[in-house]
Amino acid sequence: AQTVTQSQPEMSVQEAETVTLSCTYDTSENNYYLFWYKQPPSRQMILVIRQEAYKQQNATENRFSVNFQKAAKSFSLKISDSQLGDTAMYFCAFNPSGWGKLQFGAGTQVVVTP
């Protein structure tokens, strides 16, 4: 079975500071895809960043970056220069083959305070 674990139910960070969210997964696959989705109070699921397992370089999207450690099966998300609009639930997701279903972690609630 393949699972995705997010061990931090909630994280609080002050504006302009940095926060790192952890995610681990379990798989026997060699090539797969990892994602971070953001769900603000509007409940829309928004893709933040994606990483392909065969790429060694960590993905970056503006203030969002990942630390992908394939051997450790770890995929953390760093939010730099946090903004109030970053307040949301963040889900780590795993796709073993590039097609088909995503498996989601339980989510981490990020609260950005002034």
Partner 1 sequence: DAGVIQSPRHEVTEMGQEVTLRCKPISGHNSLFWYRQTMMRGLELLIYFNNNVPIDDSGMPEDRFSAKMPNASFSTLKIQPSEPRDSAVYFCASSFFQGHKGTGELFFGEGSRLTVL
Q: Taking CB under 8 A as the rule, which mask of x and - marks residues 15-54 in contact with partner 1? A: -----------------xx-x-x----xxxxxx--x-x--
H or E stretch covering 112: strand 108-113
> Longest C-alpha distance within the chain, in Å?
43
Two tokens, residue 26: 């379990």
Compute the least distance from the CB of residue 53 to partner 1, in Å: 10
Minimum CB distance to partner 1 smaller for 82 or for 92: 92
Write out the two tokens for 65. Answer: 């970056």
Sign for the CA dihedral angle at 85, 86, 92, 94 comes to: positive
Question: Scanning residues 78 to 97, which ones bind partner 1 (CB under 8 A)?
Answer: 91, 95, 97
What is the binding site for partner 1 (CB under 8 A)? 32-33, 35, 37, 42-47, 50, 52, 91, 95, 97-107
